């Protein structure tokens, strides 16, 4: 149910991972910055890591203008999604999820014993949620937790601040709106969600695995009111965030220019790829994020054909979209190779 290369599948195809261009995971196309590589090389491998990730939390707090008590660092934001679900949901609670979206929200809510309700966006409406109806759904269902991914994976739809504020107001003060910001740092027209913490019922999830290309290291953080942070933190296993990850995070924070450079690469390559895909007669959902959702018909078949040519794309069947693929934006020259491969495999 996730992007990224599958070692077993590649082995069965006789492919080594380095022979595949991975468009299936939405990672900074420039890879990790030199500062991160340097910081990681200096990590203390022999000692236990700081259980509280104190240095990283303080560095984050300074950059973000929040208190260290507002932050919980996790082994990827996936861990934090599960900790939030376990700390805020139980049997008898409802979790509302704006779909189609990242699958871990539902997995976490179900694992916590909650009932999951979905608020779907349809292709006919350009994958935009009808917001007035969403507010009414929140008022009717009274969920304890709402997951909203912004920009949304896999559609690339990016809601404005005032829309999120409306949803927060509909939810009421006791429940929690979890805004997953994972792709905001790589997005166009990005806006800072952190001031939304003042609304009281909003928590923000950030993944450092996308914008800083640390997917293999695993690093993310939750920014929320201290009570929400403490509730999730109490359930976190000791030493969850290892020393290499903490060092990588500190290095990454020193290199904002690296993410800025990636945004430029993405903006240009996305425009190119979008145009070329439409030129091939494919319907592409306009995206603010570092990936494109594309209607192709038989997504599983197309994915298999492309993988045979050393190009991995995400088949969106697990999002409930079996006729779509999701393509991560890589450097323009790599996107050009994907277009060439698509020309070979698409029916004339
Ligand atoms: C929207 C969204 N949130 C969170 C994650 C998980 O990120 P992490 O690598 O930090 O666990 C992903 C990964 O694909 C994602 O797409």
Q: What tens digit of pLDDT does each residue of 252-302 get?
A: 999 999 999 999 999 999 999 999 999 999 999 999 999 999 999 999 999
Q: Cβ neighbours of residue 242 under 8 Å, at least 6 residues apart? A: 49, 75, 218
From ligand 1's centre to the CA of 347, what distance in Å?
33
Fold of 7-31+257-345: 3.90.1150
Q: 153 CB less than 6 Å from ligand 1?
A: yes
Compute the mean pLDDT over every residue in the chain, rounded to the nearest whole number.
97
Contact 80, 209 (CB under 8 A): no
The CB of 102 under 6 Å from ligand 1? The reply is yes
Phi first, then psi: what are they for 178, rounded to 5°? -95, 115
Q: Are 288 and 187 in contact (CB under 8 A)?
A: yes
CA–CA distances in Å: residue 197 to residues 177, 200, 225, 321 = 10, 6, 7, 33
Instruction: Compute CA distances 38 → 27, 248, 251, whole Å.
Output: 20, 9, 8
In the chain, ranges of CATH 3.90.1150.10 domains: 7-31+257-345
- Which of 153, 183, 185 most suits a substitution to test ligand 1, by most atoms within 8 Å of the C-beta? 153
Nearest ligand 1 atom to alpha carbon 25: 14
Average pLDDT over residues 242-255: 98
Q: Which residue's CA is the nearest one to ligand 1's atom 7?
A: 77
pLDDT confidence of residue 90: 98
| pLDDT at residue 150, as a whole number | 98
Cα(254) to ligand 1 centroid in Å equals: 22
Mean pLDDT, residues 176-184: 98
Assess whether the C-beta atom of 78 lies below 6 angstroms from ligand 1: yes
Does the Cβ of 180 fall within 6 Å of ligand 1? yes
- Integer Cα distance of 338 and 340 in angstroms: 5
CA of 344 to the centre of ligand 1 (A): 32
**What is the residue-wise DSSP string for 201-233?**
SEEEEEEHHHHT--TTT--EEEE--HHHHHHHH
* 198 φ, ψ (degrees, to nearest 5): -65, -20
Q: Quickly count: other Cβ atoms within 10 Å of residue 216's Cβ.
A: 12
Tell me whether the omega of the peptide bond preceding residue 306 falls within 30 degrees of 0, making it cis.
no
CATH architecture of 34-254: 3-Layer(aba) Sandwich (3.40)
pLDDT of 38 over the 90 cut: yes
What single DSSP character describes residue 312? E
Residue 1 has pLDDT above 90, yes or no: no
Residue by residue, DSSP assigns 143-187 as -SEEEEESSPTTT-----HHHHHHHHHHH-SSSEEEEE-TTGGGS
d(CA 111, ligand 1 centre) in Å: 18
Look up the pTM and report it.
0.97
Please report, for the chain, how many H helices and E strands are present, in that order: 13, 13
Residue 347 has pLDDT above 90, yes or no: no
**What pLDDT does residue 218 have?**
98
Ligand 1 atom at minimal distance to the Cα of residue 219 = 10
């Amino acid at each position: 149910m996730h992007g990224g290369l599958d070692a077993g599948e590649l082995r069965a195809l006789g492919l080594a991972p380095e022979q595949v261009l991975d468009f299936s995971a939405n990672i900074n196309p420039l890879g990790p910055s030199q500062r991160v590589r340097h910081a990681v090389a200096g990590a203390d491998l022999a000692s236990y890591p700081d259980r509280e990730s104190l240095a990283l939390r303080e560095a984050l707090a300074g950059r973000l203008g929040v208190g260290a008590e507002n932050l919980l660092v996790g082994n990827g934001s996936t861990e934090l999604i599960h900790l939030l679900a376990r700390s805020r949901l139980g049997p008898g609670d409802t979790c509302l999820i704006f779909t189609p979206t990242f699958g871990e929200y539902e997995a976490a809510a179900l694992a916590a014993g909650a009932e999951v309700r979905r608020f779907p966006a349809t292709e006919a409406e350009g994958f935009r949620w009808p917001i007035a109806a969403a507010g009414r759904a929140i008022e009717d269902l009274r969920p304890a937790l709402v997951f909203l991914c912004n920009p949304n994976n896999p559609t690339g739809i990016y809601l404005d601040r005032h829309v999120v504020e409306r949803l927060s107001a509909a939810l009421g003060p006791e429940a929690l709106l979890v805004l997953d910001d994972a792709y905001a740092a790589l997005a166009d027209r990005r806006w800072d969600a952190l001031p939304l913490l003042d609304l009281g019922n909003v928590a923000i999830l950030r993944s450092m695995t996308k914008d800083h290309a640390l997917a293999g290291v695993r690093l993310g953080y939750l920014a929320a009111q201290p009570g929400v942070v403490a509730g999730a933190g109490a359930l976190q296993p000791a030493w969850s965030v290892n020393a290499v990850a903490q060092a990588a995070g500190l290095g990454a924070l020193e290199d904002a220019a690296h993410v800025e450079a990636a945004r430029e690469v993405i903006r240009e390559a996305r425009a190119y790829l979008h145009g070329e895909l439409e030129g091939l007669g494919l319907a592409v959902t306009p995206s603010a994020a570092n990936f494109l959702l594309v209607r192709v018909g038989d997504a599983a078949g197309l994915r298999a054909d492309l993988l045979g040519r050393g190009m991995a794309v995400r088949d969106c069947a697990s999002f409930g979209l079996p006729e779509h693929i999701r393509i991560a934006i890589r450097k323009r020259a790599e996107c050009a190779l994907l277009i060439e491969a698509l020309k070979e495999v698409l029916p004339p």
